[in-house]
Structure 1
Amino acid sequence: MRNIFTFGHRPAQRNWNVADLRANKGKLQLTEVTAMNGEQAARAAAAGIDTIITRSQMLKEVREAAPKTFVTAALMLIDHPTENDVLTGAMRALDEGADALYTTRSLDTIKMLADLDFPVMGHVGLLPPYSTWIGGLRAYGTTADEAMGLVDRFRAMEEAGAFAVEVELVPQQVLESINKQTSLITFSIGSGSGGDVTFLFSEDICGETNNPPRHAHAYGNVLRLQERIERERVEALSAFQSAVRNGSFPYKEVTISMKPHELEAFQARLGETAPLGARKG
């Protein structure tokens, strides 16, 4: 663990920092997963996942659950429509313990944040919200022209001051070739093992989705367990409903009873009183 001082001026420890990630480039293959709540973050930390990415709104909970894991705060476009919103969101995220920032916005936005010495991650290849520009959700960089366009984009991000880039649905050979020449830390999602960090969504890894993307792989089957839990819930509730209707519940074992002599005394005294609800004369 490394001792650091956060951007929010608080002492902390981290498994990785930006300098470590840069020094590791081309060496040990690292991992990144999503965490959208404290529970997911705690599981990732317990599993030894190297880095976590979360939406900036969830950062505080994620940071508390994984206090020593490198966490990137995603400044999602829909949540930060203007440049001022981006800056405000970045300041808040860094104050809450983010180690880096992620944005799909323009190079000008990356430069604005990088000029403040904030670690910024950009995005190349398929950008799902912008997929209309390339004809839909598809791999990008499969032709020589597109691959060279990626080279230009990498250079532009370096010049803008980014320290890392998420590379989505790019051919592995293209990423391998570019990764040998770029100073950016590359986070591969659907782009093979040619990057520095391999990234997948937690729900895809754990098998929590019905239709995972082609590039994902489920190492568990949480969805099956969740479906079983839901069936158990319905069956239990139905059994309760039936038991109450047929008079078999509450059972004797869960019912509180009086000792016989106390019950006899109570009933005798109750018989001497006016019925409940009777009006006084």
Structure 2
Amino acid sequence: MKSKVNILEMKRMKKEGKKFTMVTAYDYTTASIVDNSTVELILVGDSLGMVMLGYDSTTGVTMEEMIHHIKPVVKGAPNTFIVGDMPFGAYNVSVEKAIENANRLMKETGCDCIKLEGGAEFAHTIEAITKAGVPVMAHLGLTPQTTSQLGGFKVQGRDLETANKLINDIKAVAEAGAFSAVVECVPSQVAKLMAEAVDLPIIGIGAGPYVDAQVLVTQDMMGMFDKFTPKFVKKYATLREDMVNIYNGFNSEVKEGLFPSKEYSFDIKVDGLE
């Protein structure tokens, strides 16, 4: 059985050049499967809005929905570091509200840290939350909660100006006290410079091979989500197709009278039933 990594170990892994991984989970069963694997971190992301709840974006996800999904993941993966996502509206109203919601997420779910989107403009919020005793993972590059401002789901940092902003952003969140950062949809060389600019671990998703760790959404990497597949996703399985075949097989066996057979039935003699 693996032992749960901690923040100091993650920083040491970066220093020693040891890669690690994070995947998403939104329920007890998936979390327990990840807990049996060698993956070090689970992100209960607001991506659950799209892959679990059928929303068109992550913006509509609420604090209540995040808490509802984080709690069973914590129960299912006691040996895995759990990251709880702060949804849109939970931290951008005021610093006081951000601290209140960060405290609530930690207290009500038992997760190991919170994650929030935003760079230098949210450095004061990150600093306040960390000073309040809550570990913070930042999220830079493509920030799904504010894709409308970014022109949609597009690669960020494609020119010198925006690349420089990303490098300044990672420095700002590091100085504010974030212990790590997710960097999403950024050119590989820009992500490399970001990773070299700070001592906190950079977890990439569509950020190339030069960062310290990688994260993928489980439903994407397992081939379960069919609405779209980002360029950076490698499908390690085709579970959607497999599951459809299994459901079809069940349906056919029931209609043909093959299931349930004696093996799956209780043939118990009940005295006097005649």
TM-score range, shorter chain: 0.7 to 0.9
Alpha-carbon distance change, 237 to 89 in structure 1, aligned in 2, over 3 angstroms: farther
Give the 3-state SS of the residue equivalent to 1:217 in structure 2: coil
Partner of 1:144: 160
Kept after mapping to 1: 8 A contact 2:167/2:193: no
Which of 171, 183, 194 aligns to 2:187? It is 171
Partner of 2:62: none
Partner of 2:133: 117
Q: Is residue 29 of structure 1 aligned with residue 19 of structure 2? A: yes
Kept after mapping to 2: 8 A contact 1:34/1:53: yes
How far apart are the structure 1 equivalents of 2:114 and 2:270? 65
1:68-147 alignment, distance < 5 Å: 68-77=79-88, 82-83=93-94, 85-95=97-107, 96-104=109-117, 106-147=122-163
Alpha-carbon distance change, 255 to 111 in structure 1, aligned in 2, over 3 angstroms: closer
Following superposition, the deviation at residue 88 of structure 1 comes to 3.4
Following superposition, the deviation at residue 29 of structure 1 comes to 0.7
Structure 2 length as normaliser, TM-score?
A: 0.78
Following superposition, the deviation at residue 169 of structure 1 comes to 0.6
Q: Is residue 197 of structure 1 aligned with residue 197 of structure 2? A: no
Partner of 2:238: 221
Kept after mapping to 1: 8 A contact 2:103/2:134: no
Deviations 1:237-279 (A, max 9, x none): 5446xx9xxxxxxxxx9898899xx79xx8xxxxxxxxxxxxx
Following superposition, the deviation at residue 21 of structure 1 comes to 0.8
Is there any run of 5+ residues in structure 1 with no aligned partner, and where?
A: 2-12, 244-252, 267-281
How far apart are the structure 1 equivalents of 2:140 and 2:44? 18
Q: Aligned residues, how many?
A: 242
Alpha-carbon distance change, 117 to 255 in structure 1, aligned in 2, over 3 angstroms: closer
Instruction: Give the AA of the match of 1:188.
Output: G
- Give the fraction of aligned pairs with identical amino acids, expressed as a percent: 24
Following superposition, the deviation at residue 15 of structure 1 comes to 2.0
Kept after mapping to 2: 8 A contact 1:166/1:188: yes
Of structures 1 and 2, the one scoring higher in RCO (CA 8 A, sep 6+) is 2
Kept after mapping to 2: 8 A contact 1:32/1:51: yes
How far apart are the structure 2 equivalents of 1:255 and 1:64? 37
Deviations 1:96-129 (A, max 9, x none): 3221110125333212211113210111111122
Partner of 1:274: none
Kept after mapping to 2: 8 A contact 1:76/1:104: no
Instruction: Give the AA of the match of 2:32.
Output: A
- Aligned CA RMSD, in angstroms, stands at 2.9
Give the 3-state SS of the residue equivalent to 2:14 in structure 1: coil
How far apart are the structure 2 equivalents of 1:154 and 1:165? 8
Instruction: Give the AA of the match of 1:31.
Output: T
Is there any run of 5+ residues in structure 2 with no aligned partner, and where?
A: 46-65, 259-264
How far apart are the structure 2 equivalents of 1:133 and 1:194? 27
Deviations 1:62-109 (A, max 9, x none): 111110111111111156674455433322332332211101253332
Alpha-carbon distance change, 148 to 257 in structure 1, aligned in 2, over 3 angstroms: closer
How far apart are the structure 2 equivalents of 1:170 and 1:31? 18
Deviations 1:131-179 (A, max 9, x none): 2223221101121221111111112212322111110011111111221
Partner of 2:252: 235
Which of 163, 167, 182 aligns to 2:198? It is 182
How far apart are the structure 2 equivalents of 1:255 and 1:70? 47
Structure 1 length as normaliser, TM-score?
A: 0.76
Give the 3-state SS of the residue equivalent to 2:31 in structure 1: helix
